Structure 1
Amino acid sequence: MKLLSAQQLRAADQFTIANERIASLDLMERAARGCVNWLNLNFPELGAVAVFCGTGNNGGDGLAIARLLYKQGKKVSCFENKLSEESEDYTANKKRLPIPLNYLNETNFEELLATINPETLIIDALFGSGLNRSVQGFSAKLISKLNQGKNTIISIDIPSGLFAEFNTTHIPKAIIQATYTLTFQRPKLSFLLPEYGAFAGKFHVLDIGLAESFIEEQTSPYNYITAEFVKNKLAPIKTPFVHKGTFGHLLLIAGQEGSMGAAILAAKAALHSGLGKLTLVSPSCGLEILQTCVVEAMVFRSEERRVG
């Protein structure tokens, strides 16, 4: 799966809108439905929900999710953190919202947050992937306060405060610590990097129907390998009468006294790749262990200096 930058994903949005002839508001609704479907599948006993929105398109996603959940009979409360001028789609979804909107500010936010009990599911739609500087001021205080609670937090597209790519200049306290992240079309590179990937929690990719033809034309040095990709693209298809020699012969030299576990793991991984034959060369101390744990492999002592 090709990973795209935030800029490339925005371009994919625009290409889809122009070529599919779908309004940006309808594309936002499609994304919101995908999130709600995921919530219903993974939280079938969902009770109260608190949705925190900025005033850009990520906040528009949040308002659409709030409306759809409310129409399903969920107990929904909605909170706005005014960041700048409202985007058109945010304003449109604000007009559609059938419940009151709570406006957060420096003087009331702690009091309003105190009304949310620990069992309430929090949806984070404060900042989206277009963020290009660290969150500061009141918004940073709000994020820090949300992180201090015990609630399950689900971030929409990206945890608020996290950049989509590299985050070397970031302040960790000003990034939402998500339990789950529902990201659109592609994972963000930052989800996969050790320094800040943990902020995304467990991420799930939702297909919102962006034009795959456009995405495949984009250049990127980064790819994300999924189990489905390995199964469908890499694992060879074997018919009943094929010979094992047709699928490759791997020589694996591994192991030392007291550390045979790595050799076993490497051998089992090699067999799972679909190869036909595996030869293991290891010190004599590992012969019995390897022949017991990896019965499919041919095992030779390294002292023999001979491979079958």
Structure 2
Amino acid sequence: MHNHSHRRGLYTVEQMRTLESEARATLEISGPDLMRRAARAALNDLRRRWPQANRIGVYCGPGNNGGDGFLLAVLLRETGLRVSVMATTTLSGGDATHARDEWTSNGGEILLWGEQVDLSDADLHVDALYGIGLNRAPDPSIASLIERINASKQPTFALDVPSGLNADTGDCAGTAIRADATITFIADKRGLHTGRAADHAGEIELATLGVPESSRPSLQPDAALLVAESLPPRARYANKGNNGHVLVIGGDHGMAGAARLAGESALRVGAGLVSVATRASHIASMNAARPELMAHAVEDASALESMLKRATVLALGPGLGDSAWSKALWSMALDASKSLVLDADGLNLLAKNPRVFSSPTVLTPHPGEAARLLGKKTVDIEKDRFAAARELAKKYSAVVVLKGSGSLIADPNGRLDVCPWGNPGMASGGMGDLLTGVVAALLAQGCPPWEAACLGVSLHARAGDVAARNGERGLLASDLLAPLRVLVNGVADDHG
């Protein structure tokens, strides 16, 4: 894969506290000075995004996030804008005390939040209610304010993290600000990029506040955002045998489409050969629609044996079902100990018959499948997607793609990347089957499981974004096939 230099680290709340403390010591700056840097960065971002906004409502909590809000209000007023500041408490704590005093000492008024307060006299709302440390539902009074802000027809700008969103997990224990944009400070927080964050953070801007990466030499990011990559050009002296043979196993009665989608995506991403082991009733239609797929009738496990010997990589699960036929093919395929992508019904069978993998393996569960694999409820998976992905990778000794908004890729050693692409239009049938074929094709072309999973998720999500340019509703999995071919060849960087 081509390397890019702008790989962005993602940090936990605990790490952020360490980073801030070390930055203050290394740079010899005080907490209030760092807060002023945050306010200045927020001012610049706000004016760039909303140059016509003249009346700004700033909502401040009692902690340092509220302090950022008070200092931003000072700067906004200095630029000649009309600023109203609303606080949730009569006192602020820590460094926020100085920020609050700076606002009031220059004549700034503070309105205390109450249910009767009118929020309509603002062109823009600034959320400075909670900082990064909130891991519970907002207090009822603050929750009512959040709901009022969300109900407003005016845009909202969040400082550091939208209030109510868990900065570690991307989950919301209660109501949360729905920001149009979020400016986050010093370093990026992992919870801004997965799960519910997609509906709450809006466009994310990172302001490092002049804190260099050299000030954190001993602290490695907990996770990282994927970067746009492609495969290098092929050698001129190449043949189909150099690019692997993917065997798609699936397509029980009525589910031929899943196996075909997996096979077609494997072809479009560059597998040299793709075979499909499926029901006899599907062969004629599959050959007619996509003759490049080598479709084989497999009515019992014995018919699969010779195909397994020829295959480089197995794509097991798309449309596989849960019948006796399904179980027999699943068992024989896993016993072959080939490089493997396991998805859909293949994962459901694994949940019932757990095993640890010794051959290169990528599992691609959605949250429901992940819950079955871990013996948990789906809601528990979504509460901490990072922990779930890592637990799955360790339990099954495989690279795991936990699909969903902000898909996660984890390996058994705890490494984890987050996908920043994709859109709600991809929440439709067949998308997972497509991803299975993409990852399998990359394995077949020589990518190790980690690289195949990361690049596969990236290509799949970016192709979805290209295909959604004509609208998200009505997006079909097959709409991704053409952009997949373009993106894997690296000839459309503007699509990334």
What is residue 102 of structure 1 aligned with on the other side? 110
- Tell me the distance in 2 between the aligned counterparts of 1:301 and 1:150: 55
What residue is the counterpart of 1:155 in the other structure?
158
Aligned length: 278
Aligned equivalents of 2:232, 2:218: Cα separation in 1: 28
Contact 1:159-1:199 at 8 Å conserved across structures: yes
Return the offset for 1:244: 7.1
CA–CA distance in 2 between the matches of 1:165 and 1:282? 42
Measured in 2, the distance between the counterparts of 1:93 and 1:249 equals: 64
Q: Could you list the per-position Cα deviations for residues 83-133 of structure 1 after superposition, in whole angstroms to 9, with x for gaps in the alignment?
A: 754322442454156562232143xx42342x425xx11010011012344
Indicate how the Cα distance of structure 1 residues 286 and 99 shifts in structure 2: closer, same or farther if over 3 A, else same: farther
- Contact 1:12/1:210 (8 A) holds in 2: no
Identity of aligned residues (%): 27
CA distance in 1, matches of 2:111, 2:237: 67
* Counterpart AA for 2:64: N
Q: CA deviation at 1:263?
A: 4.6
Following TM superposition, where does structure 1 have runs of at least 4 consecutive aligned residues deviating by more than 4 angstroms? Answer: 96-99, 235-238, 241-245, 250-257, 259-268, 282-291, 302-308
2:74 aligned with 1:67: yes
Counterpart residue identity of residue 32, structure 1: A
Instruction: State the shift of 1:136 in Å.
Output: 1.6
> Residue 73 of structure 1: CA displacement?
3.0
1:13 aligns with 2:14: no
Pick 1 or 2: higher relative contact order, CA cutoff 8 A, min separation 6.
Answer: 1
**In structure 2, distance between residues paired with 1:103 and 1:193:** 35
Q: Give SS of 2:46's match.
A: helix
The TM-score normalised by the length of structure 2 is: 0.48
1:253-286 Cα distance to aligned partner (Å, 9 max, x none)? 4597545455555555x4xxxxxx6424155755
SS in 2 for 1:111: coil
Q: Aligned-pair distance for 1:155?
A: 1.0
Which residue type is aligned with residue 195 of structure 2? P
Q: C-alpha displacement at 1:290, in angstroms?
A: 6.2
Secondary structure at 2:224 match in 1 = coil
Q: How far off is 1:31 after superposition?
A: 2.0
Is 1:53 aligned to residue 60 of structure 2? yes
Partner of 1:111: 117
1:128 counterpart SS class = coil
Match of 1:281 in 2: 274
| 1:121 matched residue in structure 2 | 124
Q: TM-score, normalised by structure 1?
A: 0.73
- Structure 1 residues 10 and 250, CA, compared in 2 at 3 Å: closer, same or farther? farther
Within 5 Å, give how 1:29-44 maps onto structure 2: 29-44=36-51
Q: Is the 8 A contact 1:123 1:153 kept in 2?
A: yes
Aligned twin of 2:331: none
**Distance in 2 between the 1:216 and 1:288 partners?**
58
Task: Identify the residue that residue 243 of structure 2 maps to in structure 1.
Answer: 249
Change (3 A) 1:116 1:288: farther
What is the CA-CA distance between 1:25 and the residue it aligns to? 2.2
